[in-house]
Structure 1
Amino acid sequence: MTRLLLALAGVILLAVTALAAVWLLGQLLTGLGVFVVGAVGVLGRLLWFLLVTGLLAGLVYFVTSAWRPALRARGGGEAARPAAAAPVRLEKAPVTSDTSA
């Protein structure tokens, strides 16, 4: 009878341990799922932000590169460049020895 009771206690203990392991695995998978869903939400909003920002930046770049009233008024196609400055020549001053002090 003792063997039967020990075997029954072992089966019950094994079943409880298996249920606890399944519960713990479920908790871990639930936490992982919450993390994955949160990461997908953050990355989705980041992707939306980058797409909208890229489109707006492209539009701004297009408008600023296409609309140049100063070039049309001047009639030229190149940007205004300042005239090249003449090179400055530095001449050495004559060295005088002042010994009157």
Structure 2
Amino acid sequence: MTRLLFALAGVVLLAVTALALVWLAGQLLAGLGAFVVGLAAVLARLLGFLTLAGGLGGLAYFIASAWRPAREVRR
């Protein structure tokens, strides 16, 4: 009878340990998912900013290079 109780306790202990490991893996994956979503949002905002900054910089460069003085510049 003692062997049966020890075997039953071992099975219960293994089941509880496996359940704890599954819970821990779920917590880690949820944290990793939140990190990935946050990182994607930051990178999307950065891409939008860089696109806008590049476009405005190109526009400023184009306007500055297309500008000509009204009078001839003396050398």
What is the TM-score when the length of structure 1 is the normalising length? Answer: 0.69
Bigger Cα Rg? 1
Runs of 4+ in 1 over 6 A off after TM superposition: none
Cα deviation for residue 53 of structure 1 reads: 0.5
- Tell me how large the CA RMSD over aligned residues is: 1.3
Aligned positions of 1:55-74 closer than 5 A: 55-68=55-68, 70=69, 72-74=70-72
Q: Which runs of 5+ in 2 are unaligned?
A: none
| Counterparts in 2 of 1:80 and 1:4: CA distance versus 1, 3 Å | farther
Q: Please say if 1:25 is aligned against 2:25.
A: yes
Identity %: 67
Offset of 1:73 from its aligned partner? 2.4
Distance apart, 1:43 and its partner CA:
0.8
C-alpha deviation, 1:67, in angstroms: 1.4
For 1:27, the aligned partner's letter is Q
Query: Which structure shows the higher helix fraction?
Result: 2
Scaled by the length of structure 2, the TM-score of the pair is 0.92
Q: Aligned residue for 2:14?
A: 14
Q: Give the partner amino acid of 1:73.
A: R
| Matched length | 75
